A and B are shown apart, each in its own frame.
Chain A
Amino acid sequence: MHRWRFLSILMTLGLVLAACGGGSSPTPSASASAASLPPFTATSYPTAGPADCKAPADSKHDAYTGEFKQIKAIDRYTVEFDLCGSDIAFLSKVAFSAFPINDTAYLEAHSKDKSIVQVPNGTGPYFLKEWVKGDHITLQANPDYWGPKAKNQTVILKWSTESAQRLVQLQSGPPDGADGIDNPGKGDLAAISADTNLKLYPREGLNTLYLGMNILDKPWDNEKVRQAIAMGIDRDRIVKNFFPPGSEVATHFVPCSIKFACGGDDWYTYDPVAAKKLLAEAGFPNGFTTKVQYRNVDRAYAPNVPILAQEIQSQLKNNLGITATIDEQESGTYIDNNTAGKLPGLFMLGWLIDYPDMTDWMDYHFGAGSGAKFGKPFADIAAAITTGATKTADADREAAYTLANNLIKQHVPMVPIAHAGSATAFRADVVGAHSSPLTNENFNVMQPGDRNTLVFVQGAEPLGLFCPDETDGESLRTCLQINDSLYGFEVAGTKPIPALATSCTSNPDFSVWTCTLRQGVKFHLGGVLDANDVVESYAVSWDADNPLHVGRSGAFDYFPGLFGGFLNPPIPKPS
Chain B
Amino acid sequence: MLRFIARRLLLSVPVLFGIVLLVFVLARVIPSDPCRTALGERATPQICDAFIHRYGLDLPIPQQFVGYTGQLLHGDFGESIRYGRPVAQILVERLPLTVELTFFALLFATIVGITLGIISATRRNSPLDVGTMMIANLGVSIPVFVLGLAFEWLFAVVLRHTPFSLPASGRLTPGLDVIPLAQSWGLEGLTGPVRVVIDFVGNIYSFNALITGQWQALGDALRHMILPAVALGTIPMAIIARMTRSSLLDVLGLDYVRTARAKGLNERAVIIRHGLRNALLPVVTIIGLQLGLLLSGAVLTETIFNLAGLGLTLTESVLGRDYIVIQGVVVVTAIAYLLINLIVDVSYAYLDPRIRLS
Contact = CB atoms under 8 A, between A and B. Distances in A.
Interface of A: 10-11, 14-15, 17-23, 62, 114, 117, 130, 132-136, 138, 154, 156, 158-162, 164-165, 168-169, 171-177, 330-333, 335, 453, 455, 461, 463-464, 471-472, 551-558, 560-561, 569-573, 575
A455 B173 CA distance: 11
11 contacts: A15-B211, A133-B93, A138-B175, A160-B169, A165-B306, A172-B160, A176-B174, A177-B156, A177-B168, A555-B43, A570-B49
Contacts of A164: 149
A408 B308 CA distance: 48
A14 B213 contact: yes
Given A177-B168, A560-B44, A572-B46, A17 B304 contact: no
Given A17-B185, A332-B35, A332-B37, 16 more contacts: A18-B214, A19-B213, A21-B184, A135-B308, A158-B169, A158-B170, A158-B306, A162-B304, A164-B149, A176-B166, A177-B168, A453-B174, A463-B82, A555-B47, A571-B46, A572-B46
A540 to B, nearest CB: 16
B304 A572 contact: no
Contacts of A169: 156, 168-169, 306
B39 A471 contact: yes
A471 B42 contact: yes
A572 B83 contact: no
A558 B40 CA distance: 10
A162 B306 contact: yes
Give the 7 A-B CB pairs with smallest separation, nearest first: A332-B33, A134-B308, A14-B211, A176-B167, A471-B40, A18-B212, A552-B84
B169 A165 contact: yes
B39 A553 contact: yes
Interface in B41-97: 41-47, 49-51, 53-54, 82-84, 90, 93-94, 97
B183 interface: yes
B153 interface: yes
B183 A133 contact: no
Contact of A135 (B39, B44, B160, B170): B170
A134 B313 contact: yes
A162 B175 contact: no
B171 interface: yes
A154 B50 CA distance: 39
Nearest to B186: A21
B286 interface: no
B177 interface: yes
A524 to B, nearest CB: 20
B353 interface: no
Given A177-B168, A333-B33, A156 B175 contact: yes
A156 B175 CA distance: 8
A168 B170 CA distance: 12
Contacts of A165: 149, 152, 168-169, 304-306
B174 A156 contact: yes
Nearest to A14: B211
Contacts of A134: 93-94, 97, 308, 312-313
A18 to B, nearest CB: 4
A348 to B, nearest CB: 14
B195 interface: no
Given A162-B306, A330-B32, A570-B50, A11 B211 contact: yes
Interface in B177-212: 177, 179-180, 183-186, 210-212
A62 B49 CA distance: 13
Contacts of A19: 213
Given A455-B174, A472-B40, A21 B185 contact: yes
Given A158-B170, A472-B40, A552-B84, A557 B211 contact: no
A571 B50 CA distance: 10
A62 B47 CA distance: 12
A169 B173 CA distance: 12
Contact of B42 (A20, A553, A561): A561
Interface in B277-301: none
B157 A175 contact: no
A455 B172 CA distance: 13
Given A21-B183, A572-B45, A172 B157 contact: yes
B87 to A, nearest CB: 13
Contacts of B90: 133
A161 B320 CA distance: 13
Contact of B41 (A117, A177, A335): A335
A231 B309 CA distance: 51
Contacts of B39: 471, 553, 555, 557
A570 B42 CA distance: 16
Choose among A168, A570, A572 the residue with the greatest number of B CB atoms under 10 Å from its CB: A168
A62 B46 contact: yes
A80 B84 CA distance: 34
A552 B41 contact: no
A552 B39 CA distance: 10
A370 to B, nearest CB: 14
A575 to B, nearest CB: 8
B42 A159 contact: no
A177 B37 CA distance: 31
A48 B98 CA distance: 55
B333 interface: no
Contact of B173 (A132, A160, A176): A176
B160 A173 contact: yes
Nearest to A560: B44
B274 interface: no
A136 B306 CA distance: 11
B12 interface: no
B306 A172 contact: no
B31 interface: yes
B306 A331 contact: no
A472 B36 CA distance: 12
Given A23-B179, A332-B32, A159 B306 contact: yes
A165 B90 CA distance: 24
Contacts of B153: 168
B157 A168 contact: yes
A335 B185 CA distance: 53
Contacts of B303: 161-162
A113 to B, nearest CB: 12
A554 B308 CA distance: 26
B226 interface: no
Interface in B117-138: none
Contacts of B44: 557, 560
Given A21-B183, A161-B303, A572-B45, A552 B83 contact: yes
B16 interface: no
A176 B156 contact: yes
B38 interface: yes
Contacts of A158: 169-170, 174, 306
A10 B211 contact: yes
A288 B345 CA distance: 67
Nearest to A349: B41
A499 to B, nearest CB: 24
A134 B170 CA distance: 10
A294 B31 CA distance: 15
A114 B54 CA distance: 15
Given A23-B183, A117-B84, A135-B308, A553 B211 contact: no
B54 A331 contact: no
Contacts of A18: 179, 184, 212-214
Contacts of A15: 211-213
Contacts of A23: 179-180, 183
Contacts of A20: 186
A17 B186 contact: yes
A22 to B, nearest CB: 8
Contacts of A332: 32-33, 35-37
